[in-house]
Structure 1
Amino acid sequence: MTDPAVNEAALVVPSGQAVRFVEVVMNAPGPEGLVARFRFVAPAIAKDGGGISYDVAALDMEHLCNSFALPRIASTGPVPSQIIISFADRDVPFGEASPDATQFFEAYRIEGDACIWEAF
């Protein structure tokens, strides 16, 4: 599920890096049931892309879970058991391997109106 207006806009994140929404995937269940996977392109996480480290990107991913993903799941139907936020330095098709791409993933459970980090 994509929103063309959102896809074209860079999103504001705490680090200031440019992040672009790609899609949300909800048809690939996780071990605990329904999962909403929000996928973003974040070119600055590339090994040669500007030095955004995982620790910095993790703060951006948590921010996007709370400010971007949570407001959108209320209108998607059943509430997922988990939200996964993924960053890739380039647009990588869901489920495809891309050894040259830098990718970061974080998982969150929904607790009230907040995303709570869960270790993979």
Structure 2
Amino acid sequence: MIAVPSGQPVALQDVIWNVPGPEGLAVRFRFVAPQIAREGGTIPYEVAAEDILHLCQTYALPRLAEFGPQPTQIIISMSDQPVPFGESAPQATQFFEAFTPQDDLCIWEIF
């Protein structure tokens, strides 16, 4: 599990780095966070958003060097259950946020 400000359990599902994003080269860090579920979940989006920023700053940024060319965008996603990349999962609760890495910071972009 990865520590986040809300204290909810969060686990890395996978990292996708070879699929271009809307703004060029993107690295996607995909996390599973069961407590964001619509039914029975205890973490609303407003709380999860703080966790997502934290994951970008403390988890994704330090790992960028592992992925070769530096991306222009970091996408952090949370899902209440594992979802295969690129597949539709209407039953899943999913949150996505995009960030620009700049001077060791994650700058939030509005989708």
TM-score category of the 2 structures, normalised to the smaller one: over 0.9
Percentage of matched positions with identical amino acids: 60
The match for 1:28 is: 19
Say what the alpha-carbon RMSD is for the aligned residues.
Answer: 0.8
Residues 16-57 of structure 1, C-alpha deviations (whole Å, 9 max, x = no match): 000000111011101221000000000000012332011100
Q: Is the 8 A contact 1:19 1:40 kept in 2?
A: yes
Aligned equivalents of 1:56, 1:87: Cα separation in 2: 12
1:68 counterpart = 2:63 = no
The match for 1:97 is: 88
Q: Is the 8 A contact 1:43 1:49 kept in 2?
A: no
The aligned length equals: 111
1:58 counterpart SS class: helix
1:11 counterpart SS class: coil
Gaps of 5+ in 1: 1-9
Give the drift of 1:13: 0.1
TM norm structure 2:
0.97
Q: Is the 8 A contact 2:17 2:67 kept in 1?
A: no
1:108 counterpart = 2:102 = no
Q: Is the 8 A contact 1:11 1:20 kept in 2?
A: yes
Instruction: State the AA in 2 paired with 1:86.
Output: S
**Relative contact order (alpha carbons < 8 A, sep ≥ 6): 1 or 2 greater?**
2
Residues 87-120 of structure 1, C-alpha deviations (whole Å, 9 max, x = no match): 0000000000001000000000011101010000
The match for 1:6 is: none
